Amino acid sequence: MYGDFFDNDQSFLSRIDDLIDFNKVDLPAIEEFPSRFINRELSWLEFNERVLEEARDSENPLFERLNFLSITGSNLDEFFMIRVASLKDQYNAGYTLPDPAGLLPEKQLEMISDRTHEMVRKQYSTLLRSIVPALEKNRIEIINPSELNPAQKDYVKRYFESTVFPVLTPLAVAAGSPFPLIANKTINLIVRVEIPTAKNQKGQRMPFAVVQIPAILPRLLQLPSEEGDGQFILLEDVVSEHINRLFSGVKIGTISCFRIMRNADLDIDDEDAADLLSEIETQVRQRRWGEVIRLEIQSGYDEEILPILTENFEISDRDLYEIPGPLDLTFLSKLPSFFKDRQDLFYPPFTPQPSPAFYGKDDYFSVIREKDVILNHPYEDFDTVIELIRRAAEDPNVLAIKQTLYRVGGQSPIITSLADAAIRGKQVLVLVELRARFDEENNIQWAKKLEQAGCHVIYGLVGLKTHSKITLIVRNEEDGIRRYVHLATGNYNETTAKIYTDLGLLTCSEPFGRDATDFFNMISGYSMPLSWRKLIPAPKWLRIDTLNRIEQEIKNAREGKPAAIVAKINSLVDPEIIDALYRASQAGVRITLIVRGICCLRPGIKNLSENIHVRSIVGRYLEHSRIIYFYNDGQEDLFLSSADWMPRNLDRRIELQFPVEEKSARMRVFHVLYVQLMDTDRARIMEPDGTYHRVDRRRKEAFDSQVRLCHDAIEAAASLNPEPRMMDRYIPSEVNATAVFKDDK
């Protein structure tokens, strides 16, 4: 099945030649652009624009469009809290070195502001002009208090009195009083009040109060309706409608709704932190109160309120966003949960299928001994990995389990199995990366649980995040000690494994096992291997290895040999790697890149990158796997990796790249790459200026790579069982439900 696009004896390069056309004419010159690099922040905004396109695409089912729109909002929040916050820190510190694209922090902030204001305008245009009317056609409405009928008014009043009112805390602010401390990302009402006994002097501002909308309560309140269950009201409107209950004896003036974004980038010096866990706990608590970097205020606000907010938050016009609708669009992702029976508004369901290699097998270890196994998530379920760890924990022949954990699920069965293994007396070493952004609290919780169970828990190397995904299982067998290794491009997270595309390799190859042992000794002790057999770790080795392999392709091309590089990665930012790819293009190396998110390289420029093709795929699942291919004079070296081509991955993180060598495993990975290069439905092609366009469907047959891989998984499961236990109805013409479109930071 997985080799049906090409014969086993045919090279991968010979097949992709038919897919990518490098013979373009009228290419632009580099002089037409300000720099040979694209600014990374503007490139990221271009990625979020591609997600927004999915929300604007009326061919997508309505609830999936809602999810995409919600994702663009959450993406922007994180972008501001981390990337914009970092640029503001540079600007405030007087940082004067330009980025690789030649832009100073102030110029970047200016361009980001212009682009983001336009993006926000498109978000709300999409919501109000397209999605809201479509919802109304399906008898789903988010209504204002003025639209409530008498029964609904009574229902909302009772809900407010019983549930909302006891939680609210109005914070009065009078002249000379300090402004309340507003938490990050919370929605707030600012209310003008008139106190009868107060004597306002001329020019003195009237007193006001701030009411935080409690995030602990649902943002959407479903209303009783004669027309079904399709009417809702937002929590801030419920509070606004009953605001008098909070201010008895006071005349209420105008009510305005606002939201702020704060700097949430943790500033941790782990070299000076005596207790890293305690330091991160402290920093996470402080994240709610960082510098304000963005202010959103709902249209129709009181003009006298705005100066109060901008002065207290020290916000400039550039960081002020007037919002013509509800603040914080992430609530839209909750709406579909009320209508699970409306399958016509969702993409048809697809449930991850069982892995063919392990289906019906009782002895997982014997399967891995037979040959290497590739797992392709989410098309194949993550239960295989969970079950392997569980069986290893219970197996009396297993002596040790060692694992790195970067992002872990909320109710992780893997954590339970590791704790169980330690209780059973096995040696269990777990590296829990406490600095996994926005998962710090979750990881701290799991680290403590593992320590309590008797696991050896470490928090990584000083100054480096551990981003690699590896498990080592040491087992005592009849012929001696054998090591089983799982390596992956994605996290040990059963939740994201359902919506992120990732590849995993299971092997008991002795060179892999010995490298895995050396790797864990390196991160837990003082060992530093001089060389590696199969694994290529970062930071010390991966950059050098990648540059050497690119240079080898350049050498082969200059000698008149076929030369090619194919890379599927999440982000391409590193200037040294980009310059090496430019040199390779100029030497005649054909380079095909599938870059989901940020791409700072400019493709298709005469005498610079005419032999580089870049595409991005935004679809039902978040493309997360990293696959690297070098033709290498016909040897066709194929790798999977946890690392993107970014300075942070290559220089400041513990990462792992590893080869795929067994024949059937290679065919599966080649199949994934080839299918993605065939995509004409969800692929966007990158232009030299950093913009993207869809494939011209008039010239090519519609082909959705993710749909194809769903069908592959279904067919593989059906070949083992006529009624696979996890197969649902799937319609290929309606695809692409949403995922959480975030970088694995």
Structural domain spans, the chain: 13-40+537-720, 142-341, 364-530
- Burial of 123 per CB tally in 10 Å (0-12, 13-18, 19+): buried
How wide is the angle at C-alpha 386 spanned by C-alphas 380 and 392, nearest 5°?
Answer: 130
Residues 649 and 538 sit within 8 Å (Cβ to Cβ):
yes
User: In this predicted structure, what is the pLDDT of residue 425?
Assistant: 95
Instruction: With CA atoms as reference, report the closest residue to 56 among 124, 116, 113.
Output: 124
User: In this predicted structure, what is the pLDDT of residue 258?
Assistant: 97
State mean pLDDT over 357-378: 95
Residue 327 CA to residue 188 CA, distance in Å, equals 10
Residue 695 CA to residue 615 CA, distance in Å, equals 10
Residue 103 CA to residue 95 CA, distance in Å, equals 12
Q: pLDDT for 168-214, tens place per residue?
A: 999 888 766 678 889 999 999 999 887 765 555 544 556 889 999 99
Give the number of other Cβ atoms within 10 Å of residue 207's Cβ. Answer: 19
Does 364-530 match 142-341 at the fold level?
A: no
Nearby residues of 436 by Cβ (< 8 Å), 6 or more positions away: 406, 407, 443, 465, 745
Residue 495 CA to residue 490 CA, distance in Å, equals 12
Residue 614, SS3 per DSSP = strand
User: In this predicted structure, what is the pLDDT of residue 448?
Assistant: 79
Q: pLDDT for 651-669, tens place per residue?
A: 999 999 999 999 999 999 9
Residue 566 CA to residue 549 CA, distance in Å, equals 12
Nearby residues of 153 by Cβ (< 8 Å), 6 or more positions away: none
Q: In this predicted structure, which of 435-449, 488-502, 602-616 has the lowest mean pLDDT?
A: 435-449
> 364-530: which CATH architecture?
2-Layer Sandwich (3.30)
- Burial of 594 per CB tally in 10 Å (0-12, 13-18, 19+): buried
State mean pLDDT over 562-580: 97
User: In this predicted structure, what is the pLDDT of residue 736?
Assistant: 33
State mean pLDDT over 448-458: 85
Q: pLDDT for 338-349, tens place per residue?
A: 998 899 999 888
pTM of the model: 0.90
What b/e string do you get for 411-431 counting C-beta neighbours within 10 Å, with b at 16 or more? ebbbbbbbbbbbeeebebbbb
DSSP secondary structure code for residue 318 in this structure: G
User: In this predicted structure, what is the pLDDT of residue 696?
Assistant: 76
State mean pLDDT over 383-407: 94
Q: What mean pLDDT value characterizes the chain? A: 88
Residue 436 has pLDDT above 70, yes or no: no
Residue 483 has pLDDT above 60, yes or no: yes
Instruction: With CA atoms as reference, report the closest residue to 669 among 20, 18, 2, 13.
Output: 2
User: In this predicted structure, what is the pLDDT of residue 403?
Assistant: 94
Residue 153 CA to residue 146 CA, distance in Å, equals 9
User: Which residues, listed in sequence order, are joined to residue 431 by a DSSP beta bridge?
Assistant: 404, 458
* 142-341 belongs to CATH 3.30.1840.10: yes
Residues 414 and 383 sit within 8 Å (Cβ to Cβ):
no
Residue 267 has pLDDT above 90, yes or no: no
Residues 469 and 490 sit within 8 Å (Cβ to Cβ):
yes
Q: Which of 117, 242, 456, 467 is catalytic?
A: 467
User: In this predicted structure, what is the pLDDT of residue 274?
Assistant: 45
Residue 240 has pLDDT above 60, yes or no: yes
Residue 722 has pLDDT above 90, yes or no: no
State mean pLDDT over 33-53: 97
Q: pLDDT for 141-178, tens place per residue?
A: 999 999 999 999 999 999 999 999 999 999 888 766 67
Residue 540 has pLDDT above 70, yes or no: yes
Residues 190 and 298 sit within 8 Å (Cβ to Cβ):
no
Pick 20 or 125 by higher pLDDT: 125
Q: In this predicted structure, which of 18-32, 115-129, 365-379 has the lowest mean pLDDT?
A: 18-32
Residue 388 has pLDDT above 90, yes or no: yes
What b/e string do you get for 487-503 counting C-beta neighbours within 10 Å, with b at 16 or more? bbbbbbbbbbbbbbbbb
DSSP secondary structure code for residue 245 in this structure: G
Residue 313 CA to residue 319 CA, distance in Å, equals 11
State mean pLDDT over 559-573: 97
User: Where does 516-674 show beta strands of DSSP type E?
Assistant: 536-538, 564-569, 590-595, 612-617, 622-623, 626-630, 637-641, 653-659
467 is catalytic: yes
User: In this predicted structure, what is the pLDDT of residue 729?
Assistant: 34
User: In this predicted structure, what is the pLDDT of residue 101?
Assistant: 96
State mean pLDDT over 695-702: 74
User: In this predicted structure, what is the pLDDT of residue 198?
Assistant: 53
Residue 707 has pLDDT above 80, yes or no: yes
Q: pLDDT for 277-302, tens place per residue?
A: 555 455 555 545 578 999 999 999 98
Q: Give the right CATH number for 13-40+537-720 from 2.30.110.10, 3.30.870.10, 3.40.50.12780, 3.20.20.80.
A: 3.30.870.10
Residues 155 and 224 sit within 8 Å (Cβ to Cβ):
yes
Residues 279 and 270 sit within 8 Å (Cβ to Cβ):
yes
Which pLDDT band holds residue 226 (cuts at 50, 70, 90)? confident
Residue 733 has pLDDT above 60, yes or no: no
Phi, psi of 664, rounded to the nearest 5 degrees: -65, -35
